[in-house]
Chain A
Amino acid sequence: MNKVLQVLRDIFSFADRPRTEWIGFIIFVVIILIFPWLVKSSYARSVMIKFLLFALFGLGWNLIGGYGGQVDLGQAKNVGFGAYATALMIVWWKIPFWLTVIPGMIFATAESFAVAYPMFRLRGHYFAIATLCVALVWKELFVFWDWTGGARGVEIPIMPTPDFAYMQFGSAIYYHYFIFFLFITQLLFMNWFRKSKLGYDLQAVRDNEEAAASLGINVTNTKVRAYCITAALGAIGGSFMAVYYLYIDPDFVMPLDLSILIAMTVMVGGAGSIWGPILGAAVLIPLDMYLGAWLGAQKRLGIDFMIYAMIMMIIAAREPKGIWGIFERIRRKRMR
């Protein structure tokens, strides 16, 4: 009983963070909750949904990339597994959406587990390149195979009436609350994770592998478990993408750009902190949508990614800890 209470406290408590942080977080939650009632523009709502989706992806990637310090450039493959599991199961067997999420997560986890052991013999740059390669192989296979729809992708037929089982609603509000629910669940999971045994092990491994090993932490095992959990978390967002966009193809759900964008939201916001991915998504996604809309009118491609790239290089050279790092530094200065 005590143990259950302890876990519950770990899930819901932000007590180890300064009070300003979680007050800010509560304000953020309230804003998101009333957002669809304040803003009627469907474009603004779609920006909000995309922001929550990428904050969700960022939270998942932060586990391996932030707390684990392992740069995984293949998260898009897990997103793709989730999206394809949902889309194909709905199209082939008319299985309700809710039953397709778990198989997608299981597949992503199993695949990650299969490749993780050899891959974690590598460190740093080598690991990053290996993840990138695995993701590219999967993408090419999904384009090549016929049963996945090939490059044409999969289209989920639209139901005649709004249907809760297949997550098809008349209004974007439902998607807004659903992705918000997923987001909060994942945030609370991460809040628990960072205080769990595995979380502490992982951070110890990130900070100093040899020291962690000498304290009896199984380094490879810790990394592999973190990698598998990250894969499962990525697949959830992928399943949501399938039912929200109703059309997926390998270029949409598993491209390298998606892996980079996910990793970037975390890097820009601040890797290895609970709020970092949210901050990163809050900066990058509105910027992305705004630039996309503005540049779509200008008929000029590429400026958005050039601005991204500039941000990336500046952050890498000047502030490797991201926006959250700047906040922390200001706080430390004030405490002194």
Chain B
Amino acid sequence: MFNHQIQPVMELAVELVIYGFLMGLVFALIALGLSLIFGVMNIVNFAHGEFLMVGMYIAFILSSYLHLDPLFSLPVAALAGYLLGMMSYYFLIHHILRGPMVAQLFGTFGLMLFLRYLAMFIFTPDVRSINQGILVGKTLSFGWMTFDISKMMAACLSLLLFALVYIMINRTKLGRALRATSLDAEAARYMGIDTKKMNALAWGIGGATVAISGALLAHFYYVTPTVGMLFTLIAFATVALGGFGSISGAFLAGIIIGLIMVLSGQFVSELKFTFIYLAFFLTVVFRPRGLFGW
């Protein structure tokens, strides 16, 4: 009797935890760019989720107008995100970096609004989704558990990309220059590092990674012009939890946020994002350095 009742609960719990873990890996990739940008130049990018939306729309355009599989959109999205990040840096961020904090905030906020309403102008506010592709809508079963292949693929690719960027930052010469800039920009400049280029690079990498995660999310998440704000906040929550500027922190925090979202969504589905905001608020308030911050 007892066993009979507990079994489905356990099965559900295991399934939810695995699902939360998978989502968490995607969130970690989303948060990576934000954390990197903050680490290198101490600026919070409010337009982060909008970069993700750009990635989603690229996947959508390629799949519904050019009839390409959304998987092909990943490199396109990466390139677009890289260029978008670079352009944002050279045309906007570079000019507001020396200004007061309020101006920085409003600058990236303006960028966010601009991208969001540009998307609304071009694509109208309609909710869209991708409904064709090798992996779209397919499921895979392990015993009692069933998973969307697209979600598993998104999680695996996110993990892979995260690892690549992590290695790039920690093992290559370019990565060392980036880290030097984030530790002390002035000293880095004396050592002959072109910090302006490093800042632009951080924006480029940030834009590319988040646009790829957008293209991955588009496989199973609806696309609207206003979707960005939600992911901006998820990324903020993740980065705050992991510690601003800490990349390995962002990874662990991404998984925690994924679990919070999935588990709370199971019980009060209307409030699943509220719990993320609350978790974010509580971390920011009680441990501003984040769980793994320095």
Q: Which A residues are closer than 8 A to B by beta carbons?
A: 65, 69, 71, 118-119, 121-122, 124-126, 128-130, 132-134, 136-137, 140-141, 143-144, 256, 260, 263-264, 267, 271, 300-306, 308-313, 315-318, 320
Contact = CB atoms under 8 A, between A and B. Distances in A.
Contacts of A260: 109, 113
Contacts of B221: none
Q: Which of A124, A129, A311 has the most CB of B within 10 A?
A: A129
A2 B284 CA distance: 47
Interface string B206-242: 0000000000000000000100010001001000100
Nearest to A125: B44
Contacts of A306: 113-114, 117-118, 121
B110 A310 contact: yes
Given A125-B101, A316-B96, A317-B99, A309 B106 contact: no
A122 B44 contact: no
B277 interface: yes
Given A302-B121, A308-B113, A315-B106, 17 more contacts: A71-B105, A121-B288, A124-B101, A130-B281, A134-B281, A137-B277, A140-B270, A140-B277, A302-B119, A306-B113, A306-B118, A309-B117, A310-B110, A312-B110, A315-B103, A317-B95, A320-B103
27 contacts: A118-B285, A124-B101, A125-B44, A125-B105, A130-B281, A133-B281, A134-B281, A140-B274, A141-B274, A144-B270, A264-B106, A300-B121, A301-B117, A302-B120, A302-B225, A304-B117, A305-B113, A306-B114, A306-B121, A311-B110, A312-B106, A315-B106, A316-B103, A316-B107, A316-B110, A317-B103, A317-B107
Contact of B124 (A65, A119, A301): A301
Contacts of B274: 136-137, 140-141, 144
A318 B112 CA distance: 18
Contacts of B106: 263-264, 267, 312-313, 315-316
A264 to B, nearest CB: 8
Contact of B113 (A121, A134, A312): A312
B152 interface: no
Contact of A130 (B111, B112, B284): B284
By secondary structure, the B interface counts as: helix
A268 B106 CA distance: 10
B121 A126 contact: no
B109 A312 contact: yes
A169 B10 CA distance: 61
Contacts, number: 133
Given A119-B285, A121-B288, A144-B270, A303 B117 contact: yes
Contacts of A300: 121
Contact of B107 (A256, A301, A313): A313
Nearest to A257: B113
B143 interface: no
A297 to B, nearest CB: 15
A310 B114 contact: yes
A122 B283 CA distance: 11
Contacts of A316: 96, 99, 103-104, 106-107, 110
A69 B102 CA distance: 8
B192 interface: no
Contact of B277 (A121, A133, A305, A308): A133
B92 A126 contact: no
A61 B44 CA distance: 22
A304 to B, nearest CB: 8
Contact of A122 (B111, B271, B284): B284
B240 to A, nearest CB: 8
A167 to B, nearest CB: 33
